Structure 1
């Protein structure tokens, strides 16, 4: 009999707070990963459906410098109560041309909206919350840029957002300690102001 061989003891793994966890030579396995920072898949949006049916007053203008959006109607004559929440709903899109149309459409509507924006702010909260809850880096980054533009687009819009902070800020709270995210190959630092 060869006593030089060491006997290998294997620790049994058990879930925490069970009877097996209290036995000798038993290790407690850690909790499963929560996936809290994992991006969620996007579902088809009303923005995509209406664009596919030709019911949005916007189209892609293919030019030599890239793609731009072209408005079929005068942007100042649009019904902001209907179209601005619809374009905000399109912020969750990650597929072209929907992503580009929604993002540029929102920015152009905010530029031209003026006093039409403030009454629509309560209708924008659900699309903003939905876009942030995707936890997709690209979608979150573009939504943050849109929020900055929204606050600067008209007077009192920042104050109109205050009652809705409880719905918007929890996702930011998750990511406040995360130092960097990568968006389109570019590093975005959350610690920077």
Structure 2
């Protein structure tokens, strides 16, 4: 073989090595045809699903309420009393801007960690107690935070939101009818979870004692919506939750 041929062959080998790239294995589902292909690795579906749920929970936890709390922009503080801890307001609660603070505290309903959930829930109770006629104009801004709380699928969050929704309805005579146009946003969750009652068998259902039974709370909330929602409330509830029966008929 001539020198020129040897030189050409070595250049080809060098260029082939130079263009060689290490390919990282692809993640493929288990028990699939892709798992038989080269350069593939089967991933653990269970671990990915758990990680995905954790990521979703972290994304849901990043609420506007938490941001305001971390910046110190909320007029509240914790008061440690012998009969139990409660939040205190640094300003007169009746002078607060409800267009800003009521939706902000409702946004905290999705929180599952202390102290965010404690401040948000107790703050809502105080605002609804002292709100009066200032609550009704803010109703459209409360729908999305309530819907987001239901979408967490967290039992504690959902039960707490149902109790808050009941208190919201009875906080003013104008609130019940004002919620009727928003049943399409609020009641799909009721239709999905209303029949999913907890079956404990022979064991004691302590959730009933603590009023944390999801199905019972949904029934109670629908009754409150019908009683305080006016003449159009039942037909709109029935349209969204076909299994609901009027409390007036019973």
Q: Residues 11-63 of structure 1, C-alpha deviation per residue, up to 9 Å, x if partnerless?
A: xxx99xxxxxxxxxxxxxxxxxxxxxx99623311111111111001111122
Structure 2, unmatched stretches of 5+, are 1-30, 33-52, 201-205, 221-250
Structure 1, unmatched stretches of 5+, are 1-13, 16-37
CA contact (8 A) 2:63 2:107 kept: yes
Q: Residues 138-193 of structure 1, C-alpha deviation per residue, up to 9 Å, x if partnerless?
A: 000010000000000011201100111000111111101101399xx624162564
Larger RCO of the pair (alpha carbons < 8 Å, separation 6+): 1
User: How high is the TM-score relative to the length of structure 2?
Assistant: 0.58
CA contact (8 A) 2:61 2:112 kept: no
Q: Specify the alignment match of 2:237 in structure 1.
A: none
Q: Residues 52-102 of structure 1, C-alpha deviation per residue, up to 9 Å, x if partnerless?
A: 111001111122222100001110000000000000000111111111110
Change in Cα spacing, 1:189 to 1:181, as seen in structure 2 (3 Å) is farther
Among 127, 134, 140, the alignment partner of 2:158 is 140
Among 119, 122, 130, the alignment partner of 2:137 is 119
User: How high is the TM-score relative to the length of structure 1?
Assistant: 0.75
Matched, 1:186 2:204: no
* Off by >6 Å, runs of 4+ in structure 1: none
Matched, 1:59 2:77: yes
Where is the strand percentage greater, Structure 1 or Structure 2? 1
Q: Measure, in 2, the Cα distance between the counterparts of 1:103 and 1:181.
A: 28
CA contact (8 A) 1:125 1:164 kept: yes
Where is the helix percentage greater, Structure 1 or Structure 2? 2
State the secondary structure of the residue aligned to 2:85: strand
Q: Please provide the CA RMSD for this pair.
A: 2.4
Query: Which segment is superposed worse, 57-66 or 149-158?
Result: 57-66
Among 110, 113, 116, the alignment partner of 1:95 is 113
Matched length:
157
State the secondary structure of the residue aligned to 2:173: coil
